[in-house]
Chain A
Amino acid sequence: MSEREIDRQLVERARRGDKRAFELLVEKYRRRLLRLLSRMVRNAEEVEDIAQETFIKAYRALPNFRGDAAFYTWLYRIGVNTAKNFLANRGRNMPTVSDQAMSDEDEPDERLVAQDVNTPESMLLSKQVALAVNEAVEALPEELRTAITLREMEGLSYEEIATLMGCPIGTVRSRIFRAREAIAAKLRPILGTSEDKRW
């Protein structure tokens, strides 16, 4: 089942009354949505307010989601419209960023530098998280580092990674899982993540 189909299944569960399914989608896409919105709105607090409004609008509009487009495409469209309305109400113009660059998440425009939406208080935490992730990746055995990099940064499928690395798909799956676990182990002390903390 592809990522798109999994998203659609989560949407369907949310439509059947399972809010937790929608929360999983929020968890998956909220930072990507922030990246999109931060290209339109510069103030960090406003970006987060718009992101929150976007998710609530999306949740309310779930009955209208037909599944013709990918969930994230639909969500980003709501986000862009919410940001446009926000800017219009404030009497501001959007930065000169093409609509194509804003809506095409699969091929992000490299010319655009993501704005940092963190407040000063959370910037330290963000830096710590980024540092921990990068250090953890560097410390991984080469086969794990290659597997997680090809997956997360290049977006390759397990089959493509298996072909590139010359190993079975099961091995790729295991390497990516182990890489994630190793990185997560470095993050948990920083995040203060406990077993019952879901966000």
Chain B
Amino acid sequence: MNKLNLVTAPDTRSEEWVSAMLDGELETDDCLQAISRLGKDASASRRWAEYCLIGDVLRACPQDSAGLGARLQAALAEEPTIVAPLPSPTIERRPLYWVAAAAAVAAITWGVLHSTPETGPAIPVAVLATPAEPSPVAANDVMPLLAAHQDYTYAVVSDPDMKFTAIAASEGRR
């Protein structure tokens, strides 16, 4: 409300935006630009520090010793850089994603419900389906592996039935 675009104002020499930013009186887009610029612009950074000091003096905050700022800066420089951005924007901020997802689901559902086979009568699925049988070859391939690794698994070793099965499979393989 009533906040002007200062960061991108034609008169780029003016650093009024630093003052407005410190007071939380910039528009969101301007502010994001300002934050980015503040980190790179030495003159703006200096003003930020000066304005902070002026406000603190007027509010009767105690002043730090001359070396604290430098010590803090050195200590921070020694810290490993953190790279841990916040998770992606929240649901409320990105409603279009959910609208698009819902539309996609609706389209797929509609397509499935309205698609019919072009030839032949409908055949019950149960008639076509055949029960899947485990492949004995595959089971035989797996069992030695399980037997070989059972010593590393507490649950397998502690279950006598499974251990017996694994040993039997191993011997059967030989």
Contact = CB atoms under 8 A, between A and B. Distances in A.
- Decide whether A and B are members of one complex: yes
Interface string B31-64: 1100100110011011111111111111111111
Contact of A28 (B52, B58, B65, B83): B52
B38 A24 contact: yes
B50 A24 contact: no
List the 10 closest pairs (A to B, CB-CB), nearest first: A3-B24, A63-B84, A199-B69, A177-B19, A1-B31, A20-B39, A126-B63, A31-B61, A31-B56, A122-B65
Given A23-B76, A173-B20, A195-B42, A158 B25 contact: yes
A23 B76 CA distance: 8
Given A17-B82, A133-B57, A199-B73, A4 B46 contact: no
Contact of B62 (A52, A115, A148): A115
Contact of B63 (A6, A23, A60, A122): A122
Contact of B68 (A1, A51, A126): A51
Given A16-B85, A62-B82, A198-B42, A152 B62 contact: no
Interface string A10-45: 101111111111111011101110110010000010
Interface string A157-193: 1110000000001100110110010011001100101
Given A15-B83, A52-B72, A133-B54, A159 B62 contact: no
Contacts of A69: none
A25 to B, nearest CB: 10
Interface residues of B, number: 62
B94 to A, nearest CB: 16
B147 interface: no
Given A31-B56, A56-B76, A117-B65, 15 more contacts: A3-B23, A4-B24, A5-B24, A12-B86, A16-B85, A21-B39, A24-B45, A28-B48, A44-B65, A48-B64, A67-B86, A114-B60, A122-B66, A180-B50, A195-B42
Given A23-B76, A158-B23, A180 B63 contact: no
A32, A129, A149, A177 pick with most chain B CB within 10 angstroms: A177
Contact-size category for A:
35 or more
A20 B82 CA distance: 12
B75 interface: yes
Nearest to A137: B58
23 contacts: A1-B26, A9-B31, A9-B32, A23-B73, A24-B45, A31-B61, A31-B62, A31-B64, A32-B61, A35-B62, A48-B71, A51-B68, A62-B82, A122-B66, A129-B57, A130-B57, A149-B58, A158-B2, A158-B20, A159-B2, A183-B54, A188-B50, A199-B49
Interface of A: 1-6, 9-10, 12-24, 26-28, 30-32, 34-35, 38, 44, 48, 51-52, 55-56, 59-60, 62-63, 67, 114-119, 121-122, 125-126, 129-130, 133-134, 137, 148-149, 151-153, 157-159, 169-170, 173-174, 176-177, 180, 183-184, 187-188, 191, 193, 195-199
